[in-house]
Every structure is written in structure tokens, then in C-alpha cells.
């Protein structure tokens, strides 16, 4: 059964519902989330998207991203989807929001109001190979340097979030709180 997404405006106000495929092919703005999980060395857990994804297959991205479904809060959705994709769950904090729109050659448009969450985890994930091809832990400095050298290896939203939000500062603030 197709996921039913939550349609929103530029301020994340609820507008209605639409099927995932229809929303992506019509380019209708919908609610989404992006999860960034760090270990105690402040390395970020990246996932390489499955090679048969309908957009951005094989690109590297943040730990997990998806959409809340009809009748589901964003917080419930992040704790549903992280175990589905990466095989673990952890405490997550909402740290940032942004809106973006990008169209792909196959007719899909990502038009999302994205809620960004951060958490900590020190184990190895048990990836769902239908969603994730590979994973790696990486220091933020190394990630930013690689994004500079090879931006085509990374998803649009991931690069945008990394450029907009200072995760290292947020993680340091979390340690002292």
C-alpha cells in the first residue's frame, strides 16, 4: 500500500493528504524529515541509498530520511523509520527546519518542508538492503572536504542541510546541556 503523505505550505501548515508517488510527480510540498546520527567521536553515520531507488540511487546521504504518514506525528515517524532503514533506534532531538524543491530527470520533484533531527548511537547499524546499499561513519571535516571535491556523490538535501546547519556546534551544546 502506498504511503499517504502530509501536504503543507511554506510554514509547515497542514493542507491535506496525497499519495507519495502522486505528490512527488506533481511536485506538491509535503512534510519530511532528515535524521543525523553521530557517535561519541562526533562522526556522522551516512547511508548510501539503495541502487534501485526511484531517485538519487546510490548517492550518499544523511543517516535516514523519509516522510510522516497520514495520522502519524513527525516524532513517531522518525522512530518508525530509523529502525526500518538502519536497524536501530535512539533518542532524537529536533534541531532545524528548512524548505527546498528540486526536480530530477525522471519527472520526480522533491518539494519538502524538512524537519531535521539529531541523535547519538555507537553501534553498527543493521541496514535494510531494500533501502540502503552501504553505510559509513565519517568525521564532519572529512565529509565537508569530500563534498567540496565530489558534490555529485551526495543528495541535494543532505548537502543543503550540511551547508545551513552547524552540527558540530549543536553536538557540543548538547554535551554541555
112 catalytic residue (yes or no)? yes
From 2, 64, 65, 91, the catalytic residue: 65
End-to-end, the C-alpha distance of the chain in Å comes to 42
d(C-alpha 4, C-alpha 1), whole Å:
9
Closest CA to 98 of 76, 115, 78: 115
Closest CA to 49 of 2, 20, 86: 86
Q: Are strands 14-19 and 109-120 parallel, antiparallel or unpaired?
A: unpaired
From 91, 97, 112, 164, the catalytic residue: 112
d(C-alpha 118, C-alpha 140), whole Å:
14
Supply the residues annotated as catalytic: 65, 112
Amino acid at each position: 500500500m502506498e504511503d499517504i503523505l502530509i501536504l503543507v505550505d511554506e510554514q509547515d501548515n497542514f493542507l491535506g493528504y496525497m499519495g507519495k508517488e502522486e505528490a512527488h510527480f506533481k511536485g506538491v510540498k509535503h512534510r519530511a524529515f532528515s535524521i543525523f546520527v553521530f557517535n561519541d567521536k562526533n562522526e556522522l553515520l551516512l547511508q548510501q541509498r539503495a541502487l534501485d531507488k526511484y531517485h538519487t540511487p546510490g548517492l550518499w546521504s544523511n543517516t535516514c530520511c523519509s516522510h510522516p504518514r497520514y495520522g502519524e506525528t513527525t516524532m513517531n515517524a522518525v522512530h518508525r523509520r530509523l529502525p526500518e532503514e538502519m536497524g536501530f533506534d535512539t533518542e532524537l532531538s529536533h534541531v532545524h527546519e528548512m524548505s527546498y524543491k528540486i526536480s530530477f530527470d525522471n519527472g520526480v520533484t522533491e518539494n519538502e518542508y524538512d524537519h531535521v533531527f539529531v541523535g547519538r548511537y555507537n553501534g553498527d547499524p543493521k541496514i535494510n538492503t531494500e533501502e540502503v546499499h552501504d553505510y559509513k561513519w565519517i568525521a564532519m571535516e572529512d565529509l565537508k572536504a569530500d563534498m567540496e571535491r565530489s558534490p555529485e556523490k551526495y543528495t541535494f538535501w543532505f548537502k543543503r542541510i550540511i551547508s545551513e546547519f552547524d552540527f558540530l556546534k549543536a553536538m557540543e551544546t548538547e554535551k554541555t546541556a
